[in-house]
Every structure is written in structure tokens, then in C-alpha cells.
Amino acid sequence: MSVHTGSFLQIVRVLCCALVWQTLALPLDAAEKEVDWAAQYLAGLRQRGWHDVALQYLDQAEEDPLASPEFLKRVEFEQALTRVALAKQSVSKRQRQELLDHACREFLSYAQENRNSPQEVEALSQAGNLFAQRALSSLNKADQLPPQAVNQRQALQEASRGLLEKASQALQDLRVSCATQLKAVPKAAALQKDPARRAMRSQLENRQAEAQFLLAKLKLNKARIYPPDSQPYSKTLQEAAKDFLRLYQNYEDKLIGFYGRLYEGRCYQQLGKSQEALKCFDDLVDRPISNPEFRRLVARAFRRRAEIHLAAGNFEDAIQECRQYLKESRNDELRKPEWLAVAYRLASAYEAQSQTPEVGKEAKRLRNEARKLLREIARHPGEFQQVARAALASPGGGDQKIVVKTFEDAFIAGKEALEQMNSSRLAAKLAAENNPGSVGNLQQQAKLHQSQALHYLETGMRLADEDTLLEKLLSARYYLCWLYWEEGRVHEAALIGDFLARRYPENQYARVAAKVALAAYERIYQEARGLNAEQAVYEAEQLTRIAQLIITRWPESDEAAVAMNLLLNVALRDNRIAEAETLLNRLPAANRGGAELSLGVSLWKRSLAPEGKASEEEILKLKKRAVELLSRGFESLRSQGAPSSAEVVGALYFAQALLAKGESQRAVEVLQHPQVGPLTLVRKKDATTRDPKIAVEVYKTALRAFVSVAPPQRDRAREIMQALEAAYGDSGNGGAQLTQIYLSLGVQLQRQISDLTTSGQVDKASAVAGAFEDLLERVTEQSGADKSWTIQNWIAQTNLQLGQGLRGQAAQAYFEQAEAVYRSLLAEAEEDPDFAPSKIAILAVKKRLGDTLQAQQKFADAFNQYTDILRTKPNMLELQQAAATTLQQWGRAEKDPKILENAIRGTLPQDNKKNLVWGWLRLASLADNAKRRSLQSADANSPQVKKYHDLFFSARLQVAQARFDAAQLATGSDREKQLGKARQSLTSMQRLYPELGGPHWKAAYLKLLKQIENTSS
């Protein structure tokens, strides 16, 4: 067992009998005698344990008017000290590591900035000590690993080696610095009248000795990196022994020299050279001394001697020596760690002796003696307190639980079980590779220890009383919180985690407890949403509260980034986009990738289905922002790799957005990115794309991309279609679903073509349409395609949609194609009554044939198609609208005011005197009535009410538009009369409905009114 470098450093300083360094650094001048308020403030913060505030203060110290130039010069050193203190408070391994790394860098940098000065010595001493502590910590961890953990042990030993080398370098530099400075200071004898410089000289000498000792000790620890009995192990220990011997010789009759002797003995002890070791210890134990530090040294020597006796099986010798030594020690010393260590060795010797055959009836007495000593050791803090308690409490393994009667016992037993659980888990993980047969058994052991830990800690909670130490109580609570999380008891985990984070934010476990609470609340929220998304309000509130606490309390932490992301997603789910944008900006830049993708997806979706009647400009803006976010998110994803499912979906949306922008080549690159491309991941059958819905969406997007890229990658497109067909091949209605996919692809292509046309990229739009035409042909050529109503219908509809997305001659070819296919469908249906799936399907085709004809300005034919359907279905609003629109466009094209009048008032009177085609006025009136009726059973924002609302304002606008169109055909007073009517239609609407149906309709009404006014004037 090695002595901790940190504690030893303190011992060494006591040994060196140093005066306080700071008081010796330099003769004080007048300025330094003044109050250093900044230092006092810093000390005050440290005294309160507020190292976080101290660090923030130091970061901003230049802003403090009370900070003197001297103080500002040592800010970096103080920052490093503060980070070390903060690391001690942190339970996060990674954070601790980062803080210590940072501190080490600062100490070294500060030393560099202050060469050959007391400040350099101090900084190098701190750096060396810190590196050494960290090396020891890694070595201790390596020692605790199960035997199977070969790789982990090697990694830790490697890390230790690096740290030991850095420690050694810092201490070597320290020695050089001391030597250089000592050269500049006269010998002590010459400094009789200059006590400050004399003290400084003495201090430098002490530091030199200290560095020499620590360097030797680093070698002693370095040996632990190598396997015992290996050549490097022996060599390193022998070198350390030599160094310690030199120290013994150089500082003869001084405490540090005797410590050199003790450690020299320890080197021999580890080398198995018991006689040499005992000789070293003999030099120490025989000295009659009263100095407490020397007495401590002697206690250590006795402990080591006992270890040698025990290892050699000389239990009786160990018993005799230790018992005698403890008997001769002072009462107050028996509770000190060094003496307790001797007592523990004595207990071990009793226990070992009790198991030898020759002791006979004495065995029981020896065991009793051992337990008596263990009870005493367990009562006092020290190296063996835990192990003594465990020995007293040990049930002898298995699932038998020991009876615990105090919180303290329960806490220790719980912690022990937790450690065993972790050890079993690690062993199981390692066994999966090395010894798979034992995995089951190890996992069972881990589970058993987990249940024991839970039992003890829950028992401890019941046993806790007002005398229980708060720190331990909070630790026990945190362990429970974590265990509940592990057990899936999320409500309990959330409750305890929340309590610790909120009630004890200063406690070392507060931050990790908050993290567990966050995860637990998220799971509770997801479960509640799964049951009923509308009813998850309370759960969302709980989640938001803990997330906000983390963000406010630990704003720079990784947990804050997670919490912020979570809040952002909740805001997105609730459609609070502005809030999500704000939250995104509060995220650290390095953690924004996932959030940017989520927000980009949300904005993109919104741009595709805008709320209300967003203007084209607003939609373009929304799309632009969405693409910006998706692009940035994808860049982060590329650099970080290993995407989550949500991030893959984000990348997929990015590809879709690029396609909509006409950047097909980039979309292909995104989809096929070797690490994070959605298509790549689907092909690899990556876990993130196992959801069949994701895979199908990826294929659909890829199909679009390959079809629309220039030149189109038809082979790839074919591969994707095959993949899609394979994906649907096994399902019963696979064909129908496939058709739906192709149809929706047609819709997307139409949108893509439309977007390209709107943004003036007509060539690109035509290229996409052309490429898709190839695809259509391929589909058409597929076996049985011409016999399939569904496929033919899709071909026609896709052509119609493509045509609608284009303009002029480019569109005409698609309309003609669509018309031909629709007519062929209807003819076939006429011949074969079973060809069409239903009568409704025939009506739908007729309607779309009408749409196709209208798009080609074949108004009479279109009108006939619509009225043909209206004769059987006169109340279909959509058809009535289409018929009125056709009449209006027809009238305008033919410059026929009568047809325009028909558009307004309807036409084709029937036997019941009512017109078959209603016209805009009747449509408006029916829409208004229908809206009023709907409002009785639905709220104003319901889709049904909205539909009638829009129809009403649209129809009334068209009335005025048709009158305006008629006025433009007329001349003289007739023209004025028509203009007057048009104006009146609009102004009366203004009077009746000042808001004119909302911003969208209002803009349209006012635009028309302005046109009328301009024409009149």
C-alpha cells in the first residue's frame, strides 16, 4: 500500500521544518503591506467552498478595481488552484479530468512565465504533485480491476506512465530552479542580518530536498506499472531504493533522511528482499524519540515489519512486535492512522495464527482478539477503517444479507454491494469476449449485488436520524436514486434526483442527481405521451422544470446542453418555434448539431404546410432558415459521426430540402455520405434505420434524388425501386402501397418542379420533369401496368401534376399525356365494368380529366366534364367551384360577358328551376350558411369551419373579379356600371367584414379594389 503523494507532500513540508513560504518569498515593500482586498475576497469565497464563484471571479479579475497588479499577476496560479479544488468537489469523472488537465497546464504555464522565481517553484511543486496524484489514482484503479480486464488495466497503466513522467519532469525542473536561485543567494552565514533572505534560502533548500524525495517516490510508484517479478519492475525498484538511500545519506539525522530509509526498506520489501528491508526498518525502530513526527515514522516502520512477518508466515513474531509496540505507545496515539495500521496488521496476524493447526483451543481467543481490534479500527478514520468494517460485517458471500442496525452499517454495506455490483458488471462485459460461458453467472452476481445494495440503502434511510451525517445521507440518497433508475423505477429516481438537485445544489451529487432526474422525467413524459399526448402536460412541466434548473444552475455543463436540447424538442413538439430558436442560441456551439437538425426539420415541415395563409415570401423565408439549420446540423453530424435515429431523419430532411431547392447533386452526396448518409446507413442495415418507415422514406428520397440529378442516375433509381419493391414484396397490400409511394413521389416532384419554377429556375424544373418522364415510361412498361387502373391513374395524375408545376409549352406536353391516359381509363371502364375499382373512382377520373382540359384552356370540354358529374352529384362543392372557375376563365378568354355573368349567377337551369351550376353568388351564400351551421358544433379554428370560411371569401372575391373582368370587356356607361358593381361588391364586403376574412383575403380584396380604382380613374 503506497502513501498518497498529496498527503506525503504535507509530511515532507513538516519534516523540512519550513517557515511559511509566502512570508519568505521576498522582503516586503510598503505596497505589499497594504490590504490585498482581492486576495481576501478570494480567500472568503474559498472559505465558503464557493470555488465555482471564485473561478468566475478570477476569469473577470481584471474588471475588479480592487485587484492590485500583484494579484493580477498570479491569477493564472490561483485559477489552477481553484480548478483543483473544484475537481475535488466534482463527481463527474470526465469533468474532474478536464479540470485537472486544465489546472496542470495553468501551473506549468505560470511556472514558465515566472522563471527562476519563488512563484515558479510553487507552481512546479503544485504541478508535480498533481501529476503524481493523478498517476496514483490511475494505478489504484488498475489494481481494482478484475483479472479479466487486461486491456483496461494496460490502458490505465499507460496513462499512469505518462503522468508519472510529467510529474517527474516538473519536479526535475523544480530542482533546477531551486539550484539556480540558491546560487544567487549568499550562504546562510553571510545572511545573519538579513532574516528574510536567510529564510528564503532555507526554504529553497527544503524544496530541493522535497523534490528529491518525491522523485524517488515516483520511481517506487512507477514499478507498479510493470508485472511483479519482471525485469523492469525490479530495475525500477532498485533505482528507487538507491535514490532513497542517497536521501538518507544526504540528510543524515534529519527526518527526511529517515523517511528515505523507510522508503528504501519498502523498495526492498516489494522486491522480496526481506532481510534488507528489515535492516532498513531496524535502523528506525530502535530510536528512543519524543518528536511526534519521528514517532509516526517509527509506527510506519513497525507496520512494514509486521507485513514482512505476515508474508513469511511468522505470525507469532508479528503478534509479539505489534502488541509490544502498541502497548508502549501513548494512548492518544492509538487512534492515529499510523498506529491503527499497526493494529490492523496485528488483527491480521491474530486471524492468521488462529487458522494454524497448532493453536488448538487458542483459536477462538485469537479470533476474539482480532475482532476486538477490528472494532476499534472501524471506529476511527484511517486507511483500514472501511476494510475493518467490511470484515466485521462480512456475511461470507452469497445472497445472504447481513443484519444492519445503524445507518452507518447500512451505508457501508450498501456501498460495498455497489462496488461489487460494478466489479461484476465489468467482469461480465469483459468475459463476453474472453470467456462467454461465465457471462450469465457474472450478470447474475451483478444483479444480486444490485438488489443487496438497494436493500441496505433503503434500510439505511429508515435508520437515519438527526445524528446522521448529512453528507453521508445525501450520498446514500444519490446511490438510491441511481439504483432506482437502474431498476426502471423512474418515478422514485426522478423524485430523489429532483430533491437532491433542488434542495442541495451545493452537494457534490447534485449535478449527477439532476441528470438522472432529467432522464427519468423524460422517460415518464414519453410514456405519458405514448398513452395520450394531450394528457402529458404535467409530465412536460416536470421535465421542463428540471431542465431549466440544470440550465440555470450549471449553464456550462454537458448536462445543460442535453437539457436545452430536451426543452427545445418539447418546444418543437408544442410548435413553439420562436422559443426553440431562442433555446438553440443558448446551446453551446459544439452541442448544437442535433438541435439544429430537429429545428430545421420542424421549420421545413412547417414550410410545406404553413399555418393560415402565409405569403409566398414568408414561406420562402421559412424554407431558407430551415435549410440553413439543416445544413449546419448536417455539418456537425459529419464531424461528430455516430448519428442517432433522430439525426438520421434530420439528414434525410436535409436531402429533401436540397432536392426542393434543385440541388440534387448535393442531395445525392448527403444521402450517400460514407459515415452519416441516410442511404448508406440503410444499406448497412444500421440500427438507426431499422424502422421500416425510415428506410422507405430514405428510398423515396433517394429515388427522387437519382431521378432529378443531372444527368439522372437511372441505374441507381432502378436499384432503389427494386429495394422499395423488395421492402413491400412480402406485405399483402404491398402493390397498393408502392403505388401510393410512387404517387407521393409524383406529388413531391410536382412540388419540386413548382418550387424551381417559382424561384425562376425553369431549366432545372424542365430537367426534373424530363427525368421523371423517363421513370414514368419505365413504370408504364412494367408488366401489367397498362392493365392496372391504379398505375394508369397514377401516370395520368403525375403527368397532370407535372404539367401544373410548369408553364407554357413545357406544361402542355404533360397535360396532353394526362388527358390521353384519363380518356383511355374512362373508355376502358366503359367497356369493362370491373376495370375501375369503384364508381367514385370513375367520378374522380372524370373530375381530373376536367382539370386537365381546363389547364389546357379547353373550357367547353372541361365544363362538360364537370357538369356531367354534377348531374349525378350536384352538391359537390369542389365541382361547383371548378365549374364556376371554368366559366370565369372561359368568359375572360372568349371575351364573353354572358359567360362571365354565368360564372357569377350560375347556369343550366333544371326542372326544379334551379341552376345545375350554381355560380359564385350561390356558392358564397351556401358557404356562409354552412359555416354558421358548423360553428354550432365546432370551434372557429376547426378545419371544417375554415373550409367554409375560405370558400365564402373566395367566392365573394370572384364575384367582384368577374364583374371587373366584365367591365374591362365593356365600354362607356356599361363599363362604368360594371366597375361600380365590382367596387360595390368589395366595399360592401369591407363594411360587413372589416377584417375581410384575415390577412390573406384582405390583401387580395384590397389589391382588386386598387385595380378597380385605377381603371376607373
Partner 1 sequence: MFDTSTASAQGVDRIRRRSGTLSGEITNISTLAVTISKGGVEQKVPVEDIRTIDFAGEPEDLRPARLAANAGRYQDALDRLGAISLSDVEREAIRQDIDYLRMACQVQLALAGQGNLDQAAQEASAFLKKNRNSYRVSAALELLGNAQMARGEYDTARQEYEKLARAPSPYFQARSAILKGRLFQAQDNHAEALIEFEKALAAAQKSAAAQPEELEATLHRAVSQSATGKVEEATSTLKEIIAQAEPKETKLLARAYNALGDCYLQSGNDKAARDAFLHVDVLFSAAKTEHAKALFELSRLWRSQGQETRANDARQRLEKEYPASRWGKQ
Residues found near partner 1 in the complex (CB under 8 A) = 34-35, 37, 40-41, 44-45, 48, 50, 53, 56-57, 60, 63-66, 502-506, 549, 551-554
- Pick the closer one to partner 1 by CB: 69 or 360: 69
Q: How far is the CB of 62 from partner 1 (least distance, A)?
A: 11
Contact predicate 265/277, CB 8 Å: yes
Q: How far is the CB of 86 from partner 1 (least distance, A)?
A: 15
- Pick the closer one to partner 1 by CB: 40 or 582: 40
- Pick the closer one to partner 1 by CB: 47 or 1014: 47
Contact predicate 571/580, CB 8 Å: yes
- Pick the closer one to partner 1 by CB: 53 or 779: 53
Partners of 907 in the β-ladder: 917
Alpha carbon distances (Å) from 830 to 339, 826, 843: 108, 6, 12
Residues 238 and 702: their CA atoms lie apart, in Å, by: 68
Q: How far is the CB of 89 from partner 1 (least distance, A)?
A: 14
Contact predicate 107/126, CB 8 Å: yes
- Pick the closer one to partner 1 by CB: 552 or 722: 552
Residues 468 and 461: their CA atoms lie apart, in Å, by: 10
Q: How far is the CB of 506 from partner 1 (least distance, A)?
A: 5
- Pick the closer one to partner 1 by CB: 34 or 715: 34
Which residues have a Cβ under 8 Å from the Cβ of 431 and sit 6 or more positions away?
148, 438, 439, 442
Name the grid cell of 376: 476499534
- Pick the closer one to partner 1 by CB: 33 or 93: 33
Q: How far is the CB of 712 from partner 1 (least distance, A)?
A: 56
- Pick the closer one to partner 1 by CB: 6 or 49: 49
Residue 228: φ, ψ to 5°: -55, 150
Location of C-alpha cell 367554409: 948
- Pick the closer one to partner 1 by CB: 471 or 830: 471
Q: How far is the CB of 525 from partner 1 (least distance, A)?
A: 21
Q: How far is the CB of 924 from partner 1 (least distance, A)?
A: 54
Q: How far is the CB of 541 from partner 1 (least distance, A)?
A: 17
Name the grid cell of 40: 481576501
Q: Is the peptide bond between 292 and the residue preceding it cis, with omega within 30 degrees of 0?
A: no
Name the grid cell of 859: 373550357
Q: How far is the CB of 54 from partner 1 (least distance, A)?
A: 10
- Pick the closer one to partner 1 by CB: 503 or 1010: 503
Contact predicate 601/630, CB 8 Å: yes
- Pick the closer one to partner 1 by CB: 502 or 1002: 502
Residues 545 and 542: their CA atoms lie apart, in Å, by: 5
Partners of 915 in the β-ladder: 909
Handedness of CA 213, 12, 187, 21 (dihedral sign): positive
Q: How far is the CB of 650 from partner 1 (least distance, A)?
A: 30
- Pick the closer one to partner 1 by CB: 56 or 324: 56
Q: Which helix (H) or strand (E) holds 882?
A: helix 877-894
The letter for the amino acid at 264 is: E
**Residue 733 three-state SS:** coil
Q: How far is the CB of 34 from partner 1 (least distance, A)?
A: 6
Alpha carbon distances (Å) from 1000 to 751, 955, 982: 21, 14, 20
What is the DSSP secondary-structure string of 782-799?
Answer: STTGGG-HHHHHHHHHHH
Contact predicate 906/917, CB 8 Å: yes
Q: How far is the CB of 554 from partner 1 (least distance, A)?
A: 8
First to last CA, the chain: 104
- Pick the closer one to partner 1 by CB: 540 or 549: 549
Name the grid cell of 12: 515532507
Q: How far is the CB of 110 from partner 1 (least distance, A)?
A: 23
Q: How far is the CB of 28 from partner 1 (least distance, A)?
A: 16
Q: How far is the CB of 36 from partner 1 (least distance, A)?
A: 9
Contact predicate 497/510, CB 8 Å: no
Q: Between helices 972-992 and 999-1016, what is the axis angle to 10°?
A: 150
Name the grid cell of 662: 434543385
- Pick the closer one to partner 1 by CB: 54 or 342: 54
Residues 187 and 208: their CA atoms lie apart, in Å, by: 16
Q: How far is the CB of 508 from partner 1 (least distance, A)?
A: 13
Q: How far is the CB of 478 from partner 1 (least distance, A)?
A: 16
HEC readout, 893-936? HHCCHHHHHHHHHCEEECCCCCEEECCHHHHHHHHHHHHHHHHH
60: DSSP letter: T
Q: How far is the CB of 682 from partner 1 (least distance, A)?
A: 43
Half-sphere exposure of 219 (CA within 13 A, CB side): 21
HEC readout, 594-632? HHHHHHHHHHHHHHHCCCCCCCHHHHHHHHHHHHHHHHH
- Pick the closer one to partner 1 by CB: 60 or 722: 60
Residues 444 and 425: their CA atoms lie apart, in Å, by: 9
Contact predicate 961/888, CB 8 Å: yes
Contact predicate 166/104, CB 8 Å: yes
Residues 867 and 235: their CA atoms lie apart, in Å, by: 104
- Pick the closer one to partner 1 by CB: 69 or 943: 69
Residues 683 and 699: their CA atoms lie apart, in Å, by: 10
Q: What stretches of 272-329 show up as alpha helix (H) in DSSP?
A: 274-285, 292-311, 315-328
- Pick the closer one to partner 1 by CB: 309 or 511: 511
- Pick the closer one to partner 1 by CB: 298 or 517: 517
